[in-house]
A and B are shown apart, each in its own frame.
Chain A
Amino acid sequence: MRIESHPILTFEKGKIVKFTYNGKEMEGYEGEPIAAALHAQGIKVLGYTHHRNRPRGFYCAIGNCSSCLMVVNGKPNVRTCVEKLTEGAVVETQKGRGELK
């Protein structure tokens, strides 16, 4: 959910861009973190852990804790809480460690 009105803040947003999440087309604002764009659409589960297949969402949102790793444009282990959304980005849930091509 987006915050539409705020007593103190105004949010400067980039232009609307299209991207895909697990093949499904979605919209977000250019330059916002991928995890924020997904969260605005209600998507909290970003990946699953290697050992116990436990769901992972973001935790720190400043690129510190690596809880938000996803596969972006084919590249695994991208910290989506700080990776900026771009037009046409291909975003996928990461399972386990991810594979380098």
Chain B
Amino acid sequence: MIKTDIVVIGGGPAGICAAINAASSGAKVLLLDRDSQLGGQLIKQTHMFFGSQKQHASVRGIDIPGILVKEMEEYKDNIQIMLDATVLGIYEDGVLTIEKNDDYIKIKPKGIIVATGASEKFPAFPNNDLPGIYGAGAVQTLMNVYGVSPGKSVFMVGAGNIGLIVSYQLVQAGVEVKGVICRGPRYGGYAVHASKLKRIGVPIMPGHRVIHAHGKDKLERITLIKLDENKKEISGTEFDIETDVLCISTGLTPLGELLWQMGCEMKFIREFSGHVPVRNEELETTVPGVFVAGDVAGIEEASSAMVEGRLAGLCCAKKLGFTNPEYSSLKEDYLQQLHDLRSGPVGDGIRKGLAKIVV
């Protein structure tokens, strides 16, 4: 049985930042990730980030893990990293069980920070399980991490930032993008991403949805239908498009299984795209000593995930008696950064969601 002060579950932007701040406050930290490298989904984000300097704006996503890992090295005496390690369960006595390379390991921490991220949602239509229909994250992993083209041509479902960005990345990788659809009357992502696509001739088609996928053993063709302004189908407007890849980018949902298992009070929050834990301003859930950070607390951006990680790390350590000498000013700074990131019209939904879940 491994004993430690704080276990951080998930080594993406939120988890790494949580580990850094817990360790810099003096706590011994064990950082776990089921992948064989740190960085979470940043390792495939080739685009530059928004936000402010503090959240690495204008840096490509793929370059951020390196910056964070370097920062983490300053506290290496306090941080142990365990990769290829999947948390299987958390028990009533506070013991975590982990599978690593077919070994079964038990860990007993005093505090837990859950930063497990999110998984992709999946729209319903007949044959939506055909091979060739992939999540946008999967397409990014395949082409940006492993250098394998997802197919000859791709049709994109979803015109939020991820859908727009991945479409552009596909063209960069030499793949034809036949079109991008969304159900609403306008694309949902930032104009800067949409105009990049328009410049290279990729059609953005608002007011459409996929009603059928076709193919014997794998995707060959899709049927689309036009939608009116209320997203209702207009009968007689069906048409087919040939494509061997359909990329699904219809949003993410928080990966909260471990929080459910621990008995954290969970609520469905539409603005956060799924069930998220009730928590206080310091990101502590209703189970004392269990904190959350990043997409598992509600779908947002990597920039806010990093700040949440820092806040959760700082506050979880304090709860266990490791008070950072600059605790108050750091906490104020992180809360201010989060406030700034969530201000303006882009943060409307996030602010509404937070009002329902933060106690």
Contact = CB atoms under 8 A, between A and B. Distances in A.
Interface of B: 34-36, 41, 46, 60, 62, 119-120, 122, 129-135, 137-139, 141-144, 146-150, 172-174, 217-218, 255
Contacts of B218: 44-45, 55, 57
B135 A59 contact: yes
Contacts of B60: 8
B148 A40 contact: yes
Contact of A3 (B35, B135, B173, B217): B173
Contacts of A40: 148
A61 B133 CA distance: 12
Given A32-B146, A36-B148, A60 B131 contact: no
11 contacts: A5-B174, A32-B146, A44-B131, A54-B129, A55-B217, A59-B120, A59-B138, A60-B137, A62-B138, A64-B119, A65-B119
A54 to B, nearest CB: 6
Contacts of B129: 54, 56, 67
Given A3-B173, A58-B138, A45 B144 contact: no
Interface string A6-17: 111101010000
Contacts of A59: 120, 122, 133-135, 138
Nearest to A38: B148
Contact of B142 (A54, A55, A61): A61
Nearest to A11: B147
A6 B135 contact: no
Contacts of A44: 131-132, 218
Nearest to A54: B129
A44 B62 CA distance: 27
A57 B149 contact: no
Contacts of A63: 34-35
A81 B138 CA distance: 9
A90 interface: no
A33 interface: yes
Interface of A: 1-3, 5-9, 11, 13, 32-33, 36, 39-40, 44-46, 54-65, 67, 81-82, 84
Nearest to B152: A1
A9 B148 CA distance: 12
Contacts of B131: 44-46, 55-58
B132 A6 contact: no
Nearest to B86: A63
Nearest to A5: B174
Contacts of B122: 59
A45 B215 CA distance: 12
Contact of B172 (A2, A7, A60, A64): A7
A3 B149 contact: yes
B147 A9 contact: yes
B63 to A, nearest CB: 11
Contacts of A61: 134-135, 137-139, 141-142
Given A55-B130, A57-B132, A33 B146 contact: yes
Given A9-B144, A13-B147, A60 B119 contact: yes
Given A6-B172, A55-B130, A55-B131, A1 B138 contact: no
Contacts of B139: 61
